[in-house]
Amino acid sequence: MFATDATPTLARGPVRRILYRSAELRAGWRLLLFVGAVTCITAAGNAAIRRWLGHAAGDTLFLVREIMDLVIIFAVSWAAGRIEGRSIATYGLPARQMFGARFWEGMGLGLAAITALLCAMRAAGVYRFGSIALNGRDALRWAAIYGFVFLLVALREEFRARGYLQYTLSGGLGFWPAAVLTSAFFGYSHHDNAGEDWIGLFNAGAVGLRCGAAAIYGCRLASTWRSTGVKRISMACPTAGTFCPVIC
């Protein structure tokens, strides 16, 4: 609405300056609404899981929560985008590039990185590959299961840290401060992992910063698909014990 002489003074006064930047709600307020919505819906979802699936096996609960978290983050981002006149593609997940070249580029980078790490650990004598535990159909079945699960994990973690959150923070603070803050959040989000220490948290944050910084080069909209590919393969290979070690 255009401001006229009849527009209330409050609408053009200090309150509006606090809430709005030009015609759009300021980034900090938008983030507060986004985080509040995600937190409330997630709490309700966790309560429903405890009520209806409280006695389910641990792996079932893990999978249900991963799917729920991804759906919630995606849905709230979509709703925020509709209100703000943007799309999910703006936040890093363009549908036309789903599992496209950038994703497979990320898979290749992740495979190379985890292979180099495992080979270096083997050369240093701190890691052994052991014997082959699965063959044939069992190996393929578990590889498919791990691939699906870690695709969910990678999408949820990457889109949570580098989707709406990083995009909106960048609008308010600039790219690099936003990348540092979201990477610190990403690293800290792993503090509940079993056996995690400050070195692991720092490494997770550093990897997050690299993934976030990748957005500044090349195609911005493809960056989350690429970092999803990197994370998917780098998590799945050492956990499932697939073909990464064989390269050495």
Specify the amino acid at residue 177: P
The string of pLDDT tens digits covering residues 48-70 is 999 999 888 888 899 999 999 99
- Section 202-208 average pLDDT: 75
pLDDT at 35: 94
Residue 229 has pLDDT above 60, yes or no: no
pLDDT at 135: 80
Q: Tell which wins on pLDDT, 42 or 91.
A: 42
Task: Tell me the pTM.
Answer: 0.76
pLDDT averaged over every residue in the chain: 77
- Give pairs for 120-128: CB < 8 Å, separation 24+: 122/245, 122/248
pLDDT at 238: 45
Q: Is 195 helix (H, G, I), strand (E, B) or coil?
A: coil
Is residue 221 within 8 Å of residue 215, measured between CB atoms?
Answer: no
- Section 188-216 average pLDDT: 72
pLDDT at 186: 82
Specify the amino acid at residue 155: L
The string of pLDDT tens digits covering residues 91-128 is 888 777 777 777 787 778 778 888 888 889 889 988 88
Residue 222 has pLDDT above 80, yes or no: no
Percent of the chain with pLDDT strictly greater than 70: 79
Secondary structure E strands in the chain: 20-21, 24-25
Strand partners, 20: 25
pLDDT tier at 213 (50, 70, 90 boundaries)? Answer: low
The string of pLDDT tens digits covering residues 129-169 is 777 777 888 888 888 888 888 888 888 888 888 889 988 99
